[in-house]
Amino acid sequence: MIAQHLANLHRQIRLAEDAYGRRSNTVALLAVSKTQPAAALAAAYQAGQRHFGENYVQEALAKQQQLGAFDMTWHFIGPIQTNKTKLIARHFAWVHSVDSLKIARRLSEQRPATLPPLNICLQVNISTEDSKSGLSLSELSDVYQQIAQLPNLKVRGVMAIPAPETDFAKQRLPYHTLMQAVMALKAADFDTFSFGMSGDVEAAIAEGATVVRIGTALFGARAYP
């Protein structure tokens, strides 16, 4: 079933690239595996999936141990507690949810010298009505300039989790706003726009997503949120 879902998602992504004038194969799928057992990740791996996103450090480390034989790339996408930065810096290749200079400094300091720079996205809060974590649009530029100086991080782009909407135009709007703010940064090396989840894949791709983070539509409903 996971292989079938994966094939359907790839088709959906290719169709959206085509529909919104995006080059083919420019949008990647990140499998969001929080709460899913290691066997589900192994099934996705067997079907060709290589990139996995996790929200909880201890849960992720347990799965990394169980799945050590597979060549998986691990992305941390959840809220970051200060006391977890060391483990995140050691055990992930990517972090999508960097939303303060303090957290970024710790990740850079704690990234082992034996590993390549940690790939990060700046999480930006583009929802008006809810108070999810993320940098505000007004602080994005200053914080980016400072984080870009840190030696062991590579700022690849931005991540956003807008408030859920069912209307397509309303889904697109926050991503559009964020893209305009990113243009103003003149960060020529940004290549990653981590936009979109199971419910807004098309809107995210229409607005420039290069990574869609998919949990439910790949693995099915989660047992806990």
Smallest gap, in angstroms, from Cβ of residue 221 to ligand PLP? 8
Smallest gap, in angstroms, from Cβ of residue 78 to ligand PLP? 6
Residue 103 vs 214, nearer CB to ligand PLP = 214
Residue 96 vs 111, nearer CB to ligand PLP = 96
Q: Using CA atoms, how far apart are residues 130 and 133, in angstroms rounded to an integer? A: 9
Q: Using CA atoms, how far apart are residues 27 and 13, in angstroms rounded to an integer? A: 7
41-48 LR contacts (CB < 8 Å, sep 24+): 41/67, 41/72, 42/67, 42/70, 43/2, 43/3, 44/2, 44/6, 44/218, 44/219, 45/70, 45/72, 46/3, 47/2, 47/3, 47/6, 47/7, 48/6
Smallest gap, in angstroms, from Cβ of residue 97 to ligand PLP? 7
Q: Using CA atoms, how far apart are residues 133 and 121, in angstroms rounded to an integer? A: 13
Q: Using CA atoms, how far apart are residues 46 and 148, in angstroms rounded to an integer? A: 36
Residue 63 vs 213, nearer CB to ligand PLP = 213
Residue 32 vs 142, nearer CB to ligand PLP = 32
Residue 75 vs 183, nearer CB to ligand PLP = 75
Interface residue list for ligand PLP (CB under 6 A): 32, 34, 55, 77, 161, 197-199, 213-217
Three-point CA angle 25, 161, 183, nearest 5° = 65
Smallest gap, in angstroms, from Cβ of residue 54 to ligand PLP? 9
Smallest gap, in angstroms, from Cβ of residue 181 to ligand PLP? 19
> For residues 125-139, b (16+ Cβ closer than 10 Å) or e, as one string?
bbbeeeeeebbebee
Smallest gap, in angstroms, from Cβ of residue 147 to ligand PLP? 19
Residue 72 vs 212, nearer CB to ligand PLP = 212
